[in-house]
Every structure is written in structure tokens, then in C-alpha cells.
């Protein structure tokens, strides 16, 4: 599994997501611009001692990042669709794409990928789930659909 964060802004969220990726054997992809230093003490603290256990790649832009997946199934998390994250099938090498904390994914990305948009149901009170929580919810659904095989087959 692959987690892509487009323009992450909050170091603690990225650290928490890195920890989730390490514990689920998922790769983490960060797409610039990144709103904090990768040396940020809050990000490192949130990721605790998991940073050496997660594959992290930094990308200059989303197109470059997505091109590296060679036809893998791509899913874009947004509040701007009606398709629930539980209504799709996640192949084992799925790519889960998330936008920034303040803006989400931009409209052009959403418009170009209408068939691959997914959402987590929630009431509309002007805000959505914290990014690290949203990543965990969707990632674990994808892993559940695979019988958690990536977790049980880990040789680490």
C-alpha cells in the first residue's frame, strides 16, 4: 500500500501518518511543497522511533509521484464525492492520495479523477476529520479487504 500526502502542512500529522505507515508496512510519499521542515522536532516526535521503519519518498510534484506507480489503482480522498471509502475494492498495491489539511486536493485533481474519488462519511459542520485519522480509517479498510495480509506477511 502507498499513502500519498499532497502538500502536507502540519508536522504532527505527517509524523502520526509515518507511524501508521511503519506499523502497516505502507510506503509514505510526500509531495512538495511541504509546509514544514522535514527536520521538525514535532514531526519526529509524532513519528517516535518509527522513521527508520517506514519507506518515505519526497516528490517535487504530484504528476511525478503518480507516474511512478505504473497503472496501480489510485484513490483520492475528498469530502466532495458521494462514494464511500467502503464502496470500492482496494487491490494490494493501491495508492491512497490525500490533500493538505487546510485545502484538501485541488479541484483539477478531483475533476480529472471523478471515478476514483472516495470519502469518509461525517456530518458537515465545516471541518473534516484530522488528516492522520482519515489516513488510518481508509488504510485499514483497504487492509481489511485484503485480510490484513500485508501485516501477517511482513518479514521485518
Residues 101-127 have pLDDT tens digits of 999 999 999 999 999 999 999 998 878
Domain range list for the chain: 2-152
- pLDDT, average across residues 136-148: 96
Residue 155: pLDDT over 60: no
Q: CA separation (Å) from 100 to 5, 53, 106, 108?
A: 7, 24, 9, 15
Residue 39 is predicted with a pLDDT of 77
Let me know: does 116 contact 90? Beta carbons within 8 Å: no
pLDDT band for 13, please (50, 70, 90 cuts): very high
Contacts 24+ apart (CB under 8 A), 120-125: 120/77, 120/84, 120/85, 121/84, 122/79, 124/79
Domain 2-152 top-level CATH class: alpha beta
Residue 48 is predicted with a pLDDT of 61
Residue 46 is predicted with a pLDDT of 64
Residue 37 is predicted with a pLDDT of 83
Amino acid at each position: 500500500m502507498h499513502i500519498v500526502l499532497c502538500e502536507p502542512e502540519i508536522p504532527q500529522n505527517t509524523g502520526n501518518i509515518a507511524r501508521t505507515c511503519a506499523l502497516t508496512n505502507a510506503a509514505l510519499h510526500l509531495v512538495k511543497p511541504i509546509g514544514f521542515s522535514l527536520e521538525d522536532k514535532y514531526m519526529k516526535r509524532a513519528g517516535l522511533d518509527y522513521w527508520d521503519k517506514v519507506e518515505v519518498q519526497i516528490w517535487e510534484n504530484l504528476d511525478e509521484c503518480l507516474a511512478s506507480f505504473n497503472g496501480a489503482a489510485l484513490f483520492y480522498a475528498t469530502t466532495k464525492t458521494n462514494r464511500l471509502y467502503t464502496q470500492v475494492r482496494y487491490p494490494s498495491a493501491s495508492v491512497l492520495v490525500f490533500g493538505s489539511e487546510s485545502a484538501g486536493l485541488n479541484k483539477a485533481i478531483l475533476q480529472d479523477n471523478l471515478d476514483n474519488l472516495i470519502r469518509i462519511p461525517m456530518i458537515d459542520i465545516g471541518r473534516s476529520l484530522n488528516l492522520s485519522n482519515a489516513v488510518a480509517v481508509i488504510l485499514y479498510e483497504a487492509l481489511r479487504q485484503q485480510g490484513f495480509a500485508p501485516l501477517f506477511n511482513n518479514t521485518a
